[in-house]
Chain A
C-alpha cells in the first residue's frame, strides 16, 4: 500500500504543479492579485506531496519491500540501514525522485525567504519553478516510476552496487543535486524578469544570493564526488575528465561566470542581458548533464539500465525548456538596455574577462565531452578525448583567469588607471614570483608547469592579502576611516570577505593540484609477508593478509606498517572485498591523510600464495584540493549572509549605492 500511496501522491503533485505553473502566471499578466497569491500555498502543497512520495520510497527501502521493483533491484536485506536509505536515490528512478524533492524544496525556499519580493515577480518565479517541477514529475511518472511493483515477489533483493556502499553515497548526490536544481531558481528569476520586463539592479540583488548558494552546493557536491572517486574507485586520481564529471563541471563553470556577472548587474546595472543568458545556460547545462548521465549515452558508475525512451524524454524536455527560454530571451532582451558605461581599465572589464574565459572553458569542455558522442551517434566512428586534451586546454585558460582573479578585486568600478592599479598590486606580484621560485627550488623538481601552478596559487593568495590590506589600512584625514584595523576588519561587509575566502580557496586548490601533479609517486610492487619497499622516504613493510567478514561481504585484509627515519608513521589495512550478492571484487584502499600529503595503499591481485601485487602512492598535499573547494563554497555561504540581502522591500537605488560604497571602500 505504501508504494501506491507514494505513486498517488506523485499524481496529485502533477495537478498541483499544473495549477502552480499556470494560475499565478496568468494572474501576473492580468494583474489578478488573488490568482498570484495562490503561488505560495500551491508551492507548499507541492513540497508536501513530493515529500510524502519520497518518504514512501524510503519506507519501502527501509522495510525491505521487495515487491517494489526498484527496491528489489537496488537493495538487499543484508544491506546496512543507512545504505538502504541512501539506496532510495541509488537508482535511476530514485535519483529523479531526489531531483524532484530538491526542485520542490527550492521552490518552497523561494516562497518562504522572498517576503519582500513584489507579488508579480514572486508569482512568475514560482510559476516557472512549478512548470519545471511538472516536467520532471511527468518524466518520473511516464518513464521512470519508482513505485512499480514486481510479481512474483523475490525472496531478496539484488543489492546496491558495491561501489555505492559508502558514506559518499549519503552526501554526494544530495549536495550535487542541491546545486544542479538550485540553478533552476536563477533560471526562474531570469525568465520571470524577462516576462515582467523588470530587469534592474534590484532584480540582480534578489537573484544573487540564490545563485551563490546553489553554486556553493554544486561546489561541495563536485568536490565530494571527486574525493569519493579518489578513495573508493581506487584510481588514485582526483579528476579524470570523465564525461560524467564534465557534465557536472560545465554548469559549475557557467555558474561561476554567472555569480560574477551578477555582481556587475547588481552594482553597476550592466551586463544584464548577458546575466540572463548565463542563468538560462547554467540550468540548461544542468539539464544537459542529467541527459548525459541518465540516458545511458555514456557508461560510468552513474549510468543505470538504459531505456531509449528516457533519453528521448529528457532530450525533448531539454529542447522545450531551453527553446522556450531562449525564444523569450530573443524577444525581450533587446529592450533591456545597456546600463552604466565603463572604461577599458575597470573592474567591469576584469569581470568581462572572467566571463569570457569561463565561457570559453565551458565550450572547450563541451567540445571534448559531446564531440565523441555526436560522432558515435552519427556512425562516424568511435573516438575518445582524454585528460591530455583537457589539460592542454585548461591550464592556459585558467592561468589567464587566475591573473585576472588577482587584478579584478583590486581594480575600481567604472574606471581605473594603470599606475594606481600597479601600485596596489606590486607587493603581491613580487611575493608571487619569489615564493613560487623559492618553493619550487626547495621541492627540488623545477618544471615549467609546476612553477606556473605555484605562481597561480601564490598570486591569488598574495592579491587577496593586498585586497584585504587596501580595505583595512588606516586612512588619514577621512572621517570614519581612522578606526584601528581590527575594528575595520570586523566591519568589513561579509560579501567582500566571502569573495576573498572563495578566492583563497582557489589558491589552496591550485597549490594542491600543482603539488600532486608534480610530486605524486606511484609504485606497483609484488610483496610477500616480511617484504619492504621504500617510496619517497617512507618504508612500507607488508606483514600479512587475513580473511575478514563484513555485513554483506567477505574480504582479505592486508596489513602494512609504514616507517620513516626509523620512526613508525602508521599502520595501513587495505582490503580486497567480494560482495556476496553481486560477486564483484572491490578494492578498498587504505589511506593515511595528513596536511602535507596522503599515503595511499591498495591490494592489487594475488600473484601466488601469499604474494600480492600492492600499489603504493605518495600524494603530497592532495587533500588541499578538496579543502580548497570547501573553502570556496564556504566563501559563497558567507557572502550570502551579507546585510544588504536582508534589506527590507523597496530599498531605493541610492540606498543600494550606499551599500555598494560600504562594500567597496572608496579609494
Chain B
C-alpha cells in the first residue's frame, strides 16, 4: 500500500469505529431515558404502563404504612395522588410531608417503586418533586393541569421548600 492509501485506511478505520460507537451510545441513550411524570399526569393516564418512569411530589401525611419489608405510601402533588409500594429500606430523609421521587413502573394503578430518592438535606427537595407541586399549583390556578410548560417552574421551584 502506498502511504496515502494507508492514511486513508487508518482514517476509515477511525471513522467507522467512531460511527459504531456513536450508534451504540445513541441506542443505549434512547432505550434508557427515564421520563418524569407528576401524579396529575399519571391520574390523567399520560404515563406509560410498561416502561420505567419517575414520579415525584410530597409523601402524603398519614399514608406511610409498613408491613415487614414492604412499605406503602401516597405521593401527591397537592392536586392528585398516586399510591406507591416499595420493598426494603427507605432513605434516611424519607418523611411524611416531605419531597420524594420514586422510580419504577405502574401496576394496576399502583406505582411499584424500585428506587426511592429523598432530598439530600433539610433545605432542599428533589427538583422533580418541587416541580410537580409547582405545576399542580399553577394548573389549579389556571384549571389546565397538564398543559403547563414545566421548565420555568423547575428553576423557580428548585430552591427552598415551601
Contact = CB atoms under 8 A, between A and B. Distances in A.
A163 B121 contact: yes
Interface stretch (A312-320, A383-391, A421-429, A657-665): A383-391
B18 A356 contact: yes
B24 A384 contact: no
Interface string B28-54: 110111111000000000000000001
B128 interface: yes
Interface in A352-375: 352-353, 356-357, 360, 363-364, 367-368, 371
A379 B93 CA distance: 28
B158 A584 contact: no
B88 to A, nearest CB: 4
A607 B150 contact: no
B19 to A, nearest CB: 11
Nearest to B127: A299
Chain A interface size range: 35 or more
Contacts of A305: 123, 159-160
B106 to A, nearest CB: 17
B24 A379 contact: no
B34 A386 contact: yes
A299 B117 CA distance: 12
A376 B149 CA distance: 10
Interface stretch (B6-14, B74-82, B137-145): B6-14
Interface in A580-607: 582-587, 602, 604-605, 607
Contacts of B10: 344, 349
A584 B66 CA distance: 21
A526 B68 contact: yes
Chain B interface size range: 35 or more
Interface stretch (A392-400, A447-455, A621-629): A392-400
Interface string B98-126: 00000100000000000000011111101
A379 B131 contact: no
A524 B69 contact: yes
A377 interface: yes
Contacts of A356: 14, 17-18
Contacts of B124: 299, 303
Interface in A314-354: 341, 343-344, 349, 352-353
Contact of B34 (A344, A384, A613): A384
B14 to A, nearest CB: 6
Contacts of B160: 305
B25 A367 contact: yes
A299 B31 CA distance: 24
B122 A360 contact: no
A524 B89 contact: yes
Contacts of A582: 121-122
Interface in A543-593: 582-587
Interface centre among A303, A378, A393, A526 (most CB of B within 10 A): A393
Contact of B122 (A352, A380, A386, A584): A584
Contacts of A412: none
A163 to B, nearest CB: 7
Contact of B24 (A353, A396, A613): A396
B92 A584 contact: yes
A375 B33 CA distance: 12
Contacts of A667: none
18 contacts: A161-B121, A299-B119, A299-B158, A344-B6, A368-B29, A379-B149, A379-B152, A382-B35, A383-B36, A384-B34, A384-B103, A388-B28, A389-B29, A392-B28, A393-B25, A524-B69, A525-B69, A584-B92
The 10 closest A-B pairs by CB, nearest first: A379-B151, A389-B32, A604-B89, A382-B36, A392-B28, A524-B88, A388-B32, A360-B21, A379-B149, A364-B25
Given A397-B21, A582-B122, A607-B66, 5 more contacts: A234-B92, A305-B123, A585-B92, A605-B90, A615-B88
